[in-house]
Structure 1
């Protein structure tokens, strides 16, 4: 029996079922059980993530289940996972990356350029907010929380004129969309680890780690090693308006683009570094240190506590 801890949202359940199916494919004789749990991030929807503890609030109940041996594996969206796991736990494998882009979604297909001044754009992400305002300072960003379905409902009902959501989640849920626009570099860079599903288990549970090993993706592992090294260098805080994207070419060269913005989009420090994929973590460290040295410390110091 392998027990998988998961949040109860439709997207979290999809991702955990995906991991369960992969385990069944490799170990057809093994019984798999899902353990759906409610987290503080799912329960408290009237305050921003930064006010209630950052994206890590989506993990704590799942991590408790691991530490108390109620579950063997927790399944997370990597972009929600802080740079460091709690004592006794470790990230085991990263699954093949989905679409890393953000999608701009409207009911009528209007682009950011076509919305009038003061139009309301819903997002729960300081990173998305800062990059959007940097490009379109006349738009009004409205903080929204909740499931994909809830946030899409705010747009279709007209409470906001547009929303920005992760493409991977919408694709995994096969969410019906009439209008969408991918937001990508250079203007928009995704969250570190966006589009990646990761498993977490007890650090001393070598048996489970061995079971999970065939599910990992080496390309994705190197990409997120670079991206998350930037997060760790800047303090490991998921609440930062920090963006990072690593890509690997056919020759094994890794290019990392990282950007730290002030929440109002007025200040931004970004770096592009390139090197061998085997040096992924070192490249992330290099990018992060350079951002700190060229204005990043001042941006971080001014962020809300």
Structure 2
């Protein structure tokens, strides 16, 4: 195999991620040519509607998957938090790369910290998960849907449409945005539990041996362990990418700390828990933890959350 074609979204962050994987592939395989094929997804095109209202699952992946299924490309590089837990026949998640910072970040031009925001402050985020956790802490805030790429979001913040916005710290780091905004403060994990897979790049590919052989070195064991738990947790709850679910697993030595939260988009009701398991249990830990939530009424709560999200 002499050429690998990478399907990628055209946003600056997506292109950075795909260029990063291209560099790793060409360094590992001297005679391999790697091409990027940029395209727009439904999530990139429809910017005036909250994600939860236009489908949630697969909004940033479907067009890339169709490209692979038509043999127009071989692999796709995704932010793993955007990748649904199920894949079309013929495709699979074949590698999870080492993770960046998994936390969410508070960004503001006017306020140094989240607690400094005045009552009624306008905070921008697309995520129902973030919205829920922000309102649990500060029900006095006005949370407004913020769509568009990172540059669009930063422009809206700088133009004063928002008092603060929330972005993944991984994106802030990858795009070197530290000097772009006056105040950038990451939330601690117990303050804002991240989305499944946050901070990791996932490689989706056509299930062909020659492709799998080229990309398998990208797998990072720690990331695989952590994200397997997180994705299994969400899959067991049948939660889409836009469901208000936060879950994070952290592997340290032989133990894994798992934290999770689910609830209503307005923060009025939620379930939150934390547990520690052994590394050897990682293949069942996500499902087991989700079943503990289900026993406490998680599926009924998520059904009510979905109904509320449709009205936001």
TM-score (norm 2): 0.95
Report the CA distance between 1:295 and its aligned residue: 2.4
Report the CA distance between 1:50 and its aligned residue: 0.8
What is the alpha-carbon distance in structure 2 between the residues aligned to residue 228 and residue 244 of structure 1?
9
Matches for 1:13-162 after TM superposition, within 5 Å = 13-162=15-164
Q: How has the CA–CA distance of structure 1 residues 55 and 163 changed in structure 2, closer, same or farther, with 3 Å as cutoff?
A: farther
What is the alpha-carbon distance in structure 2 between the residues aligned to residue 58 and residue 171 of structure 1?
21
Contact 1:121 1:140 in 2 (8 A): yes
Query: Is 1:198 aligned with 2:202?
Result: yes
Out of 202, 213, 216, the residue aligned to residue 213 of structure 1 is: 216
Matches for 1:195-274 after TM superposition, within 5 Å = 195-203=199-207, 205-250=208-253, 252-274=254-276
Which runs of no fewer than 5 residues in structure 1 stay unpaired?
none
Q: Deviations over 1:43-64 (max 9, x none)?
A: 0000011111115111010000
The aligned residue for residue 184 of structure 1 is 188
Report the CA distance between 1:214 and its aligned residue: 0.9
The farther-off stretch of 272-281 and 57-66 is: 272-281
The aligned residue for residue 275 of structure 1 is 277
What is the alpha-carbon distance in structure 1 between the residues aligned to residue 175 and residue 75 of structure 2?
22
What is the alpha-carbon distance in structure 2 between the residues aligned to residue 117 and residue 196 of structure 1?
34
SS of aligned partner of 2:58: helix
Contact 1:106 1:180 in 2 (8 A): yes
Report the CA distance between 1:213 and its aligned residue: 0.8
Contact 1:222 1:278 in 2 (8 A): no
Out of 280, 286, 289, the residue aligned to residue 288 of structure 2 is: 286
What is the alpha-carbon distance in structure 2 between the residues aligned to residue 112 and residue 23 of structure 1?
40
What is the alpha-carbon distance in structure 1 between the residues aligned to residue 189 and residue 77 of structure 2?
28
The aligned residue for residue 167 of structure 2 is 165
TM-score (norm 1): 0.97
SS of aligned partner of 1:58: coil
Contact 1:100 1:195 in 2 (8 A): yes
What is the alpha-carbon distance in structure 2 between the residues aligned to residue 114 and residue 240 of structure 1?
28
Report the CA distance between 1:104 and its aligned residue: 0.3
SS of aligned partner of 1:2: strand
What is the alpha-carbon distance in structure 2 between the residues aligned to residue 6 and residue 256 of structure 1?
31
Contact 2:263 2:302 in 1 (8 A): no
The aligned residue for residue 9 of structure 2 is 7
Contact 1:272 1:287 in 2 (8 A): no
Let me know the Cα RMSD of the aligned residues: 1.1
Report the CA distance between 1:208 and its aligned residue: 0.6
Report the CA distance between 1:109 and its aligned residue: 3.5
SS of aligned partner of 1:269: strand
What is the alpha-carbon distance in structure 2 between the residues aligned to residue 247 and residue 254 of structure 1?
5
Contact 1:260 1:270 in 2 (8 A): yes
Which runs of no fewer than 5 residues in structure 2 stay unpaired?
none
